[in-house]
Chain A
Amino acid sequence: MLRHTLQRLLLVLPVLIGVLLIGFLLMQVVPTDPAQVRAGPTATQDIVQAIRQELGLDQPLWKQFLIYIGRLLQGDLGVSIINNVSVVQELGNTIGPTLELMFASLIWAIPLGMFLGTIGAYFRGSLLDRAIMAFSVAGVSLPVFFLGLGLIWLFGFKYPILPFTGRVGPLWTWEGLQGIILPALTLGGVFVGPVARMTRTSVLDELGNDHVRTARAKGLGEGVVVLRHTLRNALVPVVTLIGLQIGFLLGGAVVTETVFSWPGIGRLAVGAILSSDLPMAQGTIIVLSLGFILINLAVDVLYAVLDPRVRAT
């Protein structure tokens, strides 16, 4: 257990350094001289040189990298070159809405996907199973923005019953709750298919096992067999696979936020890149990567907790 976790942590280290290096290099490609910008257009060469020394820009690259890491550790990601807002502050404002959106999407998509997958596996080969699998493949192939635009057209225009213009208020208000419905339907919608497919495979594996036959042989009801003896065991791989789909979820979230003008970190990242706001772009990419690494790590460790066989190795 401990060894497994340590091994995972060891693997994270090079990834972490890679992320920071990319973030650092991102700042190196800026065509303008930051010292010159800070000094202003009328400054003499001496002043620019002094500022360069002050910022550590005259140091060799590796030393600059260390300085940069030091600043990161202090939570200093610089300021936006567009509106001078602190990057950390802006990240703090946008991370909440993104998590909100992901949560609201998963809370309905995972149960529905698992339900469909279990049904499909139980009635394997039936018309229902085929319909569910077809639906699942279609879901995997559906562009997120298509679903989003379709929902906007349907529930925002044709039958204007739901808002689609971003986060109208906090979640605990009626307006805020209404505002998250369409984005959550969009992001969750593309997640149902994969979850259904994973659950189906996993449940199918379990249904073929001896203990399921035993459970049936001793006369247990089908409901108990499926729920207690099958789904429960099938849950372990499903949970981890869902964890590993976080990257897929992240990609969907970036698009969903853009479609619905949801004030999340994905939209912030895209906006920053499109407006060449490098400090902001760098900050969002670093934070998204770190978040992703952390979740992966958590899933890996969770896997070991849930499945004793992994622990043993």
Chain B
Amino acid sequence: MSIVTDQIEKASGAADVAAVVAASAPRRKSALRMLLSDVGACIALALVLVAIFGAVFAPWLAPTDPYGNDLANTLKPPGEGAFLGTDGQGRDMITRLLFGLRTTLMMGFASVTFGCVIGGIIGFAAAYYPRLSGILMRCMDVLLSFPAILFGLAIAAIFGPGLTAVIIALSIATVPLMARVVRGSALVVLQQGYIEAARSLGLSDLRIILRYVLPNCLSAMFVFVTLRFGQVILLGAALSFLGLGAQPPTAELGAMAADGRNFLFFAPHVSVLPSLVIFAVVLAFNVLGDALRDALDPKLRR
């Protein structure tokens, strides 16, 4: 949750969105250039791409089997035999980290996708049909009044701990946020003259939304999705750390960090390495999201 969310909500305020929308079409090239002129954003972007690459190609990149125990070589510190050492079951840490990243990013991707698609539909519906707006947005308010951790606890209690429970919980927690962002920017777009023109041409509602409203809301949605991805990974890893998410022996970064607690004093790398990877990936998404927002918002340009 956190501050980033507030920033998004702020960014979804009508005026800001108008600015973002106005900037998106003709100035997209300069926005990209501005993004690339920011060193921090470039590093963040590179980190995100490396992480995605590592996660996608984990089965081919990993030197060993992520689930093959080697009890003769447990808890080796980095450098001895394996480059980053081994964990409590003698599994190679590089392999585990790659597969852990794969699980964690997949969990984040699934939650953000489900949450944003549903939230997006609700947001567009609420913006396009003022009659629906009241009831839909009140429902979103109700969902918003719960922190993600409570969804995590409740869903894990109902369905039992596991990755599915985490994905359901984080999707639900994402829906109202996305709905707000989309509704905010869609309302601004709907005031434009070309929407009236499209309406007077007799185009169907769906066509107007898909062809004219959606493309003009994309930049605001994109900023939100980037920032949300980082938060969702952080939350999912925390839930897995608590034992409510991925179950052993599944490699997942939060669960791996929890596993390493038992050896914290004599083999800290088992906990530290997965935690560091989470930190780096979330930081990269947050920095990238902030930079994207700045690049797409001409008001902040100097």
Which A residues are closer than 8 A to B by beta carbons?
11, 14-15, 18, 22, 25-26, 29, 136-138, 140-146, 149-150, 152-153, 157, 193-194, 197-198, 241, 244-248, 250-251, 254-255, 258-259, 269-270, 272-274, 276, 278, 281-282, 284-285, 288-289, 292-293, 296
Residue on B with the closest CB to A270? B242
Question: Is B282 close to A, CB under 8 A?
Answer: yes
A22 cross-chain contacts in B, Cβ below 8 A = 154
- Whether the Cβ atoms of A153 and B264 lie closer than 8 Å is yes
Number of residue pairs A-B, CB distance < 8 angstroms = 142
- Whether the Cβ atoms of A194 and B2 lie closer than 8 Å is yes
- Whether the Cβ atoms of B157 and A282 lie closer than 8 Å is yes
Residue on A with the closest CB to B6? A241
- Whether the Cβ atoms of B150 and A143 lie closer than 8 Å is no
Given contacts A18-B142, A146-B279, A258-B242, contact A141 B230 (CB under 8 A): yes
Question: Is B265 close to A, CB under 8 A?
Answer: yes
Question: Is B148 close to A, CB under 8 A?
Answer: yes
- Whether the Cβ atoms of A198 and B1 lie closer than 8 Å is no
Provide a sorted-by-A list of 7 A–B residue pairs whose CB atoms are within 8 angstroms. A14-B142, A143-B238, A143-B257, A146-B257, A194-B3, A244-B6, A288-B150
- Whether the Cβ atoms of A149 and B157 lie closer than 8 Å is no
B161 cross-chain contacts in A, Cβ below 8 A = 273-274
Q: Which of A15, A150, A255 contacts B242 (CB 8 A)?
A: A255
Question: Is B283 close to A, CB under 8 A?
Answer: yes
- Whether the Cβ atoms of B150 and A140 lie closer than 8 Å is no
A276 CB → nearest B CB, Å: 8
A200 CB → nearest B CB, Å: 10
Complex Cα spacing A111 to B71, Å: 49
Given contacts A15-B142, A146-B279, A289-B146, contact A141 B234 (CB under 8 A): yes
Known: A11-B141, A197-B3. 20 other contacts (CB 8 A): A137-B283, A143-B234, A146-B279, A149-B257, A149-B275, A152-B264, A153-B265, A193-B3, A194-B3, A244-B6, A245-B3, A251-B147, A251-B148, A278-B157, A281-B153, A284-B153, A285-B153, A285-B154, A292-B146, A296-B145
- Whether the Cβ atoms of A143 and B278 lie closer than 8 Å is yes
Complex Cα spacing A288 to B119, Å: 25
A150 CB → nearest B CB, Å: 8
B149 cross-chain contacts in A, Cβ below 8 A = 247, 250-251, 254
- Whether the Cβ atoms of A138 and B283 lie closer than 8 Å is yes
A249 CB → nearest B CB, Å: 9
| B residues 182-200 in Cβ contact with A at 8 Å | none
What 0/1 readout, one digit per residue, does chain B (281-302) give for beta carbons within 8 Å of chain A? Answer: 0110111001000000000000
Which B residues are closer than 8 A to A by beta carbons?
1-4, 6, 138, 141-142, 145-150, 153-154, 156-158, 160-161, 230, 234-235, 237-238, 241-244, 254, 257-258, 261, 264-265, 268, 271-272, 275-276, 278-279, 282-283, 285-287, 290
Q: Majority SS of interface residues in chain A?
A: helix
B243 cross-chain contacts in A, Cβ below 8 A = 270, 274
A140 cross-chain contacts in B, Cβ below 8 A = 2-4, 286
- Whether the Cβ atoms of B146 and A247 lie closer than 8 Å is yes
Given contacts A149-B271, A247-B147, A248-B1, contact A270 B153 (CB under 8 A): yes
Residue on A with the closest CB to B139? A14
B141 cross-chain contacts in A, Cβ below 8 A = 11
Complex Cα spacing A287 to B243, Å: 21
- Whether the Cβ atoms of B235 and A251 lie closer than 8 Å is yes
B271 cross-chain contacts in A, Cβ below 8 A = 149
Residue on A with the closest CB to B238? A255
Residue on B with the closest CB to A269? B153
Complex Cα spacing A255 to B285, Å: 22
- Whether the Cβ atoms of B158 and A26 lie closer than 8 Å is yes
Complex Cα spacing A29 to B155, Å: 12
Complex Cα spacing A248 to B5, Å: 11
Complex Cα spacing A142 to B149, Å: 16
B153 cross-chain contacts in A, Cβ below 8 A = 254, 269-270, 273, 281, 284-285, 288
A194 cross-chain contacts in B, Cβ below 8 A = 2-3
B264 cross-chain contacts in A, Cβ below 8 A = 149, 152-153, 157
B31 CB → nearest A CB, Å: 21
B248 CB → nearest A CB, Å: 13
Residue on A with the closest CB to B227? A140
B177 CB → nearest A CB, Å: 12
- Whether the Cβ atoms of A285 and B242 lie closer than 8 Å is no
B138 cross-chain contacts in A, Cβ below 8 A = 11, 14
Complex Cα spacing A154 to B115, Å: 39
B276 cross-chain contacts in A, Cβ below 8 A = 146
Interface centre among B150, B261, B278, by most chain A C-beta atoms within 10 angstroms, is B150
Q: Which of B6, B157, B235, B282 contacts A26 (CB 8 A)?
A: B157
Residue on A with the closest CB to B156? A273
A14 cross-chain contacts in B, Cβ below 8 A = 138, 142
A137 cross-chain contacts in B, Cβ below 8 A = 283, 286-287, 290
A269 cross-chain contacts in B, Cβ below 8 A = 153
A191 CB → nearest B CB, Å: 9
Residue on A with the closest CB to B261? A149
- Whether the Cβ atoms of A292 and B145 lie closer than 8 Å is yes
Q: Which of A26, A149, A198 contacts B154 (CB 8 A)?
A: A26
Complex Cα spacing A254 to B148, Å: 12
Complex Cα spacing A149 to B241, Å: 12
Complex Cα spacing A152 to B262, Å: 12
